[in-house]
Every structure is written in C-alpha cells, then in structure tokens.
Chains A and B, each alone.
Chain A
C-alpha cells in the first residue's frame, strides 16, 4: 500500500498536492468530488480586509512555458469570506487554507480576528506577504526578515491554529526571511509566490501591464523555485511547501527530494484541470518502480 499522505506540521493531508492561491474559484462547478479527490487542500484566493476590484488593464500575458499575471488581489473581502464562502467551502470536505494578504497591521489583525470565529472550518492560515501585484503592503513585508517577523508575530498572537507563511522569491535573503518566520511562530513555509517580470507590447510600443511589472509563474520558473526550496529547507526545521511551476510527477518528486514536504499547483491547473490526479499517478508509478512505500522517506533525500 503506497502512502502519499503527508503532515504539514499538525495538518494531515491525504495528498501532497495542494491547489495554490488564486488559481481555483468559488464556483460550485469546480468543487466536484472527482476533481478534488486527489487534492490535499485548496488555498483560497488572497483575502484582503476590504473587497478589492483588482487591477485595470491587461491581467494575463502568456510567455514561452510561463504566465505573467497582474490580477491585483481581486476578492470580496474578509467579511464575505467568513460569512458566505467558508460555510460553503467546508461542505465540500477538502481542507481549506485561508490565504490572507497583508496590506497593513490594522487590516491584518482584523482579518485574523474574523478567521478565529471560523477557526474550526479553516485548516490553516497562509500568510501572504508576497504578492507583487499591488502597490500597498504585501510583498514589501515579505522581502524583509524584520517585517516578516513582525507580521508573523502579529498573527501568532491571535491565531492559535496552523500558520503557513508564503514567501516571495524577491527576498534578497530568503534564508533570513525563512528563519525570521520560523522564529516568530510559523508552522510551515510556502516557497514561493510569483517572480517579478514584465512584458512589452512591441506593436503598441508600451508596457503590457498598467503597473508595468507582473507576477511570473508556470513551468518556466520551476528550476528557480526548486533552488529556493533547496536553500530554504536547509535553513529551517519547519516543513517547506514547494510552489512554482510544478507540472508533473517528476517536478513533485524533485521538490520533495530537495526538501519540500508537499507542493502547491497554480498555473499548471489552467492547462490541465486533472493535474493533481495525473501527477499522483506518475508519482505512484515511480514509487512502485523504486520500491518506496512512504513518500515522506524521500523528503530531502537528494541532500543526504
């Protein structure tokens, strides 16, 4: 019997495949049992204190094997999430990770206080100090170990449940940020969010995105995300969740062997809605061939 279940701190997941924030919607048609059977957990879209309209102009630009996005945290706000979304999401039976986007201290505190009200329905908070697509807050917290520590401590004081921190690859000292998060009470690290990129509309002779820069994701970023997982997992003792370009079973295995305990899938889901199932099939075939019974035995194996 192959065992693909994993624990992220105190959170048990039936599968090491998690759907990344911002890449799965709330429409009922997506929450089908057959689509989510192979998924360990679903991260909510980024939640902000007040509802946000997101960015104007182009929001999507494809590149070879990659995707630039400038969504800008469009969401209906914490009150709608807690009052309307959570009860519905809970009924689907998949662990829900609340991706909380940090803009400022007051907003963060209010969001976490509201989540405490539904703590038994939210399996973990994923503190998002890493979105590059907004002017206010967010990534500016995640690039600094001091500010990351401050943000994590604030949440930790109010939220006693599982707390993940979603890091930004733009941090000049990722190990420093990771250690700061761990020391301040994070239970796991998600490594990482999108990479800063941009595109020029050559025919229009201008930048494609109104904000010029955008978040880069997809298979093109996988080797860089893998490197970050390798680096960060060596610097901390809490679990690391690999995120960035994972699109196949071999990508998942690489992340695990580099030190991740689980992975998050984002852009890959747009291309193949059954990616979790397809990845797990490939992983199981590998485990059978290599006579590995427990996926956990492969965590960090490439480092030994």
Chain B
C-alpha cells in the first residue's frame, strides 16, 4: 500500500514563524485529519506555483487539531520559502495520508528528535501519549522553536550542540545504552546512524529522502536496507533501526 493518493484543496487556517526560518502552519483538511496516523506524511503543493516548483513537497504532520493538520516547516529552498510567503485563507493542495507510520507502543515510549525531526514525534506523542521527549538542536537561533515545542510538550529535555539552550550535547546524550523502552526517533541521518551504537531493544526511525512522486511509483526515494532497496515514501518513512543499512 502506498497510502491514499487523493489530492485535497485546502486552506491555510493559521501561520506563525517560530524562529527566523521555521514556519508553523495549519491547513484545514478534514479527510486527512480524521485518517492520518503518526509517522505518516502529506505531500503539499501551492496552486500558485504552476510548473515551478514542479513537484509536491513531503512534510510530516506534527499535530491534528479537529479538521486541521499542523506542520512544522524549515525553510531550506525554493518551495519552502514560497510557502512561508502564504497567508491565512490562501489555498494549498494536500495529498495524503502517505506512507506507513509508527506501530503503536506496548509500553511508555521515548521520543528522540533531532531539530525538525520533532514534527512527526509531536504527533506520535499526541496519539500514543506522553513519555520522555528528548530534543537536540544546533543551538543559537533555535530558542523560539524550542519555546514552541515546550508549550506543547512540557516534559521536553533539550540538548544543544553549542550549549546555548538546555544541556550541551546531542539528543543521544539523553539515552542509556541498551534502552528497553520503545524508542521513536526522527532527525538527521547521522543522528539515527549513531543510535545503532546505543543498541536499543526496540527503535523505529522515520527517514527522509528526496521524492519525486511520493506515491511509490518512481523509485526515486529508495534507501538501502537489509532486504535491499526500499522506498521511503511507500515502504516507509518509518523503518526499524536494525533494517536500515546506515553506511550505504
């Protein structure tokens, strides 16, 4: 299965910058809001883009509020910068829910986020319930983002590379070796690769890859796994830590 391939015209219902280059946005999309599961993602396009940008952009859902999806978007290139120029009431096209999400935990989970990797984990926390929530950010400039997360998730434990926010270190410094609670992780590839050394008993990771179709058709988004190449959009984005070949 590669998720629901229907496109829905949606409106932006709220927007806020949470830092210089991080956008928090809500879009009204009842049918996705009622069916999306933590770890699944949506594809998004702005009808004003025409043919440029050409492709839809993939984003995790960070929360569902009634009929609204909430997304946290880091402005890194053309598409995301154009999205940041949109206002409340503007139209977007949203496709989803896409991909396979996290499987639900049997006991209280630990959420481990690297920067924007917090997005799918916030939604997991909303559905699966609170547990330890460990966040790592680069540091300087990330204050408003951390404040935004703390307002939703008061138990959050924050680490920063430069020590300017929370404790100096990375999110992994918040974990014990051989951790037995189920871990849900999302962040940069390097962070997730390093989790292998911690040998957690159970860990699901949510991955990113450049996508063209986002529906499992093009094989553009594959990653290397112990079962061979698998599509992040349709076979993931959530994989078990041990099935991913990290040094590929």
Contact = CB atoms under 8 A, between A and B. Distances in A.
A45 B220 CA distance: 13
B220 A71 contact: yes
Ranked nearest first, the 7 interchain pairs of A and B with the lowest CB-CB distance are: A60-B220, A25-B217, A270-B213, A27-B2, A65-B51, A60-B210, A25-B216
A56 interface: yes
B158 interface: no
B217 A60 contact: no
A22 B219 CA distance: 8
A30 interface: yes
Interface of B: 1-7, 45, 51-56, 95, 210-222, 224, 228-229, 234, 248
Contacts of B6: 273
A176 interface: no
Chain A interface, >50% SS class: loop
Contacts of A74: 219, 222, 229
A56 B221 CA distance: 11
Nearest to B93: A272
Contact of B54 (A24, A56, A267, A274): A267
Given A67-B55, A69-B218, A274 B213 contact: no
A53 B224 CA distance: 10
A198 to B, nearest CB: 16
Contacts of B248: 56
Interface residues of A, number: 36
Contacts of B45: 271
A204 interface: no
Contacts of A269: 213, 217
Interface in A210-239: 218-219
Contacts of B51: 65, 218-219, 247, 271
A62 B210 CA distance: 9
B56 A25 contact: no
26 contacts: A25-B2, A25-B215, A25-B217, A29-B2, A29-B216, A30-B5, A30-B216, A56-B224, A59-B220, A60-B221, A62-B54, A64-B52, A64-B54, A65-B52, A66-B54, A67-B212, A71-B219, A74-B219, A218-B54, A247-B51, A270-B54, A270-B217, A270-B218, A271-B55, A271-B56, A272-B7
A30 B217 contact: yes
A254 to B, nearest CB: 15
A25 B222 CA distance: 14
A120 interface: no
A153 interface: no
A28 interface: yes
B212 A69 contact: yes
Contacts of A5: none
A60 B1 contact: no
A25 B53 contact: no
Identify the interface centre among B3, B212, B216, B229: most chain A CB within 10 Å of its CB. B212
A165 B222 CA distance: 29
B111 to A, nearest CB: 29
